[in-house]
Structure 1
Amino acid sequence: MAAAKQIPLTCTGHTRPVVDLAFSSFTYSGDFFLISACKDSIPILRRGNTGDWVGSFQGHKGAVWSTRLSSDATKSVTGSADFTAKVWNNLTGQATITVPHSHVVRCVDMSPDGRYVLTGGYEKKIRLFDLQTDASRGPIRQLEQCDNIIKTALMDADNGLVFAGDGKMLRVWDLRTSAQVSFRQFDHDITSLRFSNDRGMIICTSGKQVFFYNALTSALVKSFTTTIETASASLHPDGSRLVVGGISDLWVRVYDWATGQEQEVYKGHHGPIHVVSYSPDGELYATGSEDGTVRLWQTSPGKAYALWEQQ
């Protein structure tokens, strides 16, 4: 399919590959924010609809592999190759909690209310921390049944569930009992797990496929086969389309949810796309790349919105 005309906003500031990013929900002021994780060790917080720089977090001594925001964007969490996870006060830019690990922290998650933090990585363990207690004393839950490096994991604190990508295995735990309640085997390693915007579905990428699972029952809702080895996928808030980034592909690809057909293809990055995510208002999606940039793309190219009003 030929690429439609699209002029993304390029967010510079990182000096190495951007490997993860996440949007907040809408804040009390109606704004939303975007945080990016990079191998340069410095996460960056931006305004979500414009990409304008808000602040950089100084403190990690190794690549930052993963990051998440609380819904109100007042807190963030990062996981790093320096064997730590850090919780940040986004209003001051200071790390409020540093949790040491015995190996690289590859993935983190934060509950929407900012109370709970989950970590996973080279230790092959999932750890859950309660920030209302003294998190430096250790996790309130530790799940140890994984056989491989945990590169991606999610927490549904409301329903007491944790989802983890353990190599080719998707594992689900019940946090109330610390028991593994289900697992699924794939043909290829799981490259990403993300919630849909309403948190009703888990979006899983593996090989050339994108899978959608009910977040409460773990039942398969739908699956898509793409033309690329997938690195990350995100579903539009209205459920009409999904955006996919590829492990070795330089193109951003948008698929129709109903038919699974590729609708749009855009070139902009100069390296593989590691992560993609729709904004909470659905007006744009962000992509993070090996080329060290974050780019913002319009869902409806040409629509007057944010900085695109000036073009």
Structure 2
Amino acid sequence: MRPILISCHTRPVIAVKFNKDGDLFFTGSFDGKVSVFWSEPVERLGTFACDGAVKTMTVTEDSKYIVIGTAINGIFIFEVETGTKVKTIEFSSKIHVRDVEFAMGSQQFFMISYESDEKKQSVVYIYDFESVLNREQPSRRDLVRRDRDHYYRGVWGYLNKTIVLGTQNGIIDVVDTKTGELLLSHRAHVNQITSLAFSPDFSMLITASRDCFAKLLDPETLKEIRVFNAQRPLNSAVISPLMLNEGSPKYHCLVAGGQEARDVTTTATDQGGFEITFYNMIFEREIGSVRGHFGPVHSVAVHPRGHMFVTGSEDGTARVHILDQDYFTPAYD
């Protein structure tokens, strides 16, 4: 498998994401830019320029709009087709965006922020997207606030009824999206939760953490189903959509990370843990790994059809990996 190297950013690539149909993917970087590409063939289409380091992004289901969250300069909304900036939601310098994600249907999105004022809280807001586009003051509501152990990552639950939130100390909270009531809370890790992702059918939740573990959880109870010891700090974990393949399902997950960026110069590339590792979710067995990056991998995104994936790294590059036909044989089940 020979990857396609994308080198269009000048700083670390912090986020990569496919749209719902899989015909486009996006790369976001600390250089303040998000680039959009055709996925097949891989071809760069354009760039969205923001004022500030990109931290997170989310795309509407029809791929008409992209919402980009930056570290300290607020949220930027662009039309994907034209590249036109349609809205900027500005905050004070004490509000830092951690995560944004559209709900199913793209009528609303949440924002996780850290407010570094006297209270030092993390707050989850829910925005009505129509009001964001059409009103000067968009409609939003505070869903939940948390002191001390702040929220870092989130993901919408099944049918938008809940939001699953991960904290800096490894706790997972499940919150009702209408009332803000805390429905479940579970300490899944002993360090920061860096990634939360559901399987395509919402039957499983996978987490990644700086404690070197990825865990497969039951979304209804947060009970641990499987534990994967990657032996390196993790930044991203995803479940392959091929688990729903009727012909020959592949119950695989991908995890990625690596040692802290500040330590990279003192460690050989093959010892930094910068590879992307495939695990069998049934047997907790490592199937294989893909190398190439020479810095920690910040984000992994899998195509909705499962035949390719994209990675973004501290080294400032993204890589597109198209899986060989051998992968689809029973040898890799």
> TM (normalized to structure 1)?
0.87
Q: In the alignment, is residue 252 of structure 1 matched against residue 285 of structure 2?
A: no
How many residues align? The count is 294
Give the distance between the partners of 2:30 and 2:291, measured in 1 at CA. 23
CA apart distance, 1:110: 1.1
Partner of 1:92: 82
Most deviating of 187-196 and 13-22? 187-196
CA deviations over 1:149-176 (Å, ceiling 9, x no partner): 4321112372421122221221111011
1:222-261 map, 5 Å: 222-239=226-243, 240-248=251-259, 249-261=273-285
Structure 2 unmatched ranges of 5 or more: 116-121, 244-250, 260-272, 328-333
Q: Secondary structure at the match of 2:320?
A: strand
Q: In the alignment, is residue 62 of structure 1 matched against residue 52 of structure 2?
A: yes
Give the structure with the higher percent helix.
2
Structure 1 unmatched ranges of 5 or more: 1-5, 304-311
Paired AA for residue 277 in structure 2: R
Partner of 1:194: 197
- RMSD of the alignment, in Å? 2.2
Specify which of 32, 36, 39 is matched with residue 41 of structure 1: 32
CA apart distance, 1:41: 0.4
Which one has the largest radius of gyration? 2
Give the distance between the partners of 1:93 and 1:157, measured in 2 at CA. 31
CA deviations over 1:218-277 (Å, ceiling 9, x no partner): 444433222322111111112221111123222121112221211112221121111112
Partner of 1:143: 144
> TM (normalized to structure 2)?
0.81
- Residues 16 and 147 from structure 1, CA distance in 2 versus in 1: closer, same or farther, beyond 3 angstroms? same
Q: In the alignment, is residue 156 of structure 1 matched against residue 157 of structure 2?
A: yes
Specify which of 90, 108, 111 is matched with residue 103 of structure 2: 111
- Verify the 8 A CA contact 1:147 1:166 in the aligned structure 2: no
Q: In the alignment, is residue 71 of structure 1 matched against residue 75 of structure 2?
A: no
Paired AA for residue 282 in structure 1: G
The structure showing larger relative contact order (alpha-carbon pairs under 8 Å, at least 6 residues apart) is 1
Most deviating of 172-181 and 87-96? 87-96
Give the distance between the partners of 2:155 and 2:254, measured in 1 at CA. 19
CA apart distance, 1:138: 4.2
Give the distance between the partners of 1:156 and 1:96, measured in 2 at CA. 28
* Identical pairs, percent: 23
Give the distance between the partners of 2:240 and 2:311, measured in 1 at CA. 14
Partner of 2:119: none
Give the distance between the partners of 1:200 and 1:191, measured in 2 at CA. 20
1:158-197 map, 5 Å: 158-168=159-169, 169-185=171-187, 186-197=189-200
- Verify the 8 A CA contact 2:312 2:319 in the aligned structure 1: yes
Q: In the alignment, is residue 125 of structure 1 matched against residue 123 of structure 2?
A: yes
Specify which of 4, 7, 16 is matched with residue 2 of structure 2: 7
Paired AA for residue 151 in structure 2: I
Give the distance between the partners of 1:72 and 1:225, measured in 2 at CA. 37
Most deviating of 187-196 and 289-298? 187-196
